[in-house]
Homo-oligomer: A and B are copies of this chain.
Amino acid sequence: MSILVVGSVAFDTILTPHGNAEEVLGGSASYFAVAASYFAPVKLVAVIGEDFPEQERAFLASRNIDLEGLSVAKGRTFRWTGKYHEDMNMRDTLDLQLNVFATFKPVLPPSYRDCPFVFLANINPGLQDGVLDQLTTKPKLIACDTISHWIEGARPELEALLKRVEMLVINDEEARLISGDRNVVRSARKILEMGPKTLLVKRGEYGVLSFSPNSVFAVPAYPLEEVFDPTGAGDSFAGALIGYLAASNDLSEANVRKGIVYGSVVASFVVEDFSLRRLRTLTRDDIERRYRQFVSLTEF
């Protein structure tokens, strides 16, 4: 089953205690789409500038990603510069140039409008809502992400969106901000009352918690000797998770748990190198191998 993703395609400049990378491929939709493409075909909606190199487009196309919805606008592609602290759970944005992304209004090509799996990566919740209005068939699963910027600045739009979404994928700080509660369990209960049937709370190197009305699932992050670049880990997590669910077409609790582990596996590879580099060589066999390592990491 195919997956629609709407989000950003960007160039990132990334500074970490272990090295830097300049003007490398980034953006929520890029990470999501490439991660999901290991499992199922992806249809991408995003905007790029005239400066977007042909070889990056070719890379995305080579990954079974439909680029009909990738529009080219006059101007430069979205740029982001971020600096990670010694504690790589923390980062600062040093520079943000929205460029063509500033006026992005997602438009779904007709062939995208009946996608059974939909992921609304982090953009203005009003725009995320507008994507749903363009769908002609009720999807099997609508999932979305958001960030503090919208939780604080576009609360009514976000609340309207959450009523239409089955799965919310955010980090622990965002969960606290939405719920107004420091405790993650109470936060989850409050957020589940706002619409989503499943809440996934990403906790970086500490893994993921998944909450649904009758179940809690916890999976640790894969313990790595080197984390080069945490950028995109969350979107890759969501990509592999939704990819796995779309491929298996099974939204049972047990299968969602498996998907969460696949998401954790792919995210653990992504952070091993800058940008999407690790995904340029990663194979499905590599993913299966680390999935089995997750089993032995957690079984008792």
Contact = CB atoms under 8 A, between A and B. Distances in A.
23 contacts: A183-B224, A183-B226, A185-B223, A185-B224, A203-B206, A206-B206, A206-B207, A207-B220, A209-B220, A209-B223, A215-B296, A216-B297, A217-B297, A217-B300, A218-B220, A218-B297, A218-B298, A219-B298, A219-B300, A254-B300, A257-B299, A258-B300, A298-B298
Main secondary structure, interface of A, reads mixed
Nearest to A294: B300
Contacts of A225: 183, 185-186, 189
A124 to B, nearest CB: 30
Interface in A199-230: 203, 205-207, 209, 215-220, 223-227
A227 B184 CA distance: 11
A54 interface: no
A182 interface: yes
A257 B220 contact: no
Interface in A255-275: 257-258, 260-261
Copies in the complex: 2
A186 to B, nearest CB: 5
A86 interface: yes
Contacts of A296: 215
Given A203-B206, A216-B223, A223-B216, A257 B300 contact: yes
Contacts of A133: none
Interface in A273-300: 296-300
A182 B87 contact: yes
A241 to B, nearest CB: 12
Contacts of A215: 296
Contacts of A224: 183, 185
A214 to B, nearest CB: 10
A257 B299 CA distance: 8
Nearest to A226: B183
Contacts of A209: 220, 223
A221 to B, nearest CB: 8
A17 to B, nearest CB: 9
Contact of A298 (B182, B217, B226): B217
A260 B87 contact: no
Query: Lowest 8 A-B CB distances belong to which pairs?
Result: A218-B220, A257-B300, A206-B206, A185-B225, A185-B223, A186-B225, A261-B300, A218-B297
Interface string A88-128: 00000000000000000000000000000000000000000
A260 B220 CA distance: 15
Interface in A218-249: 218-220, 223-227
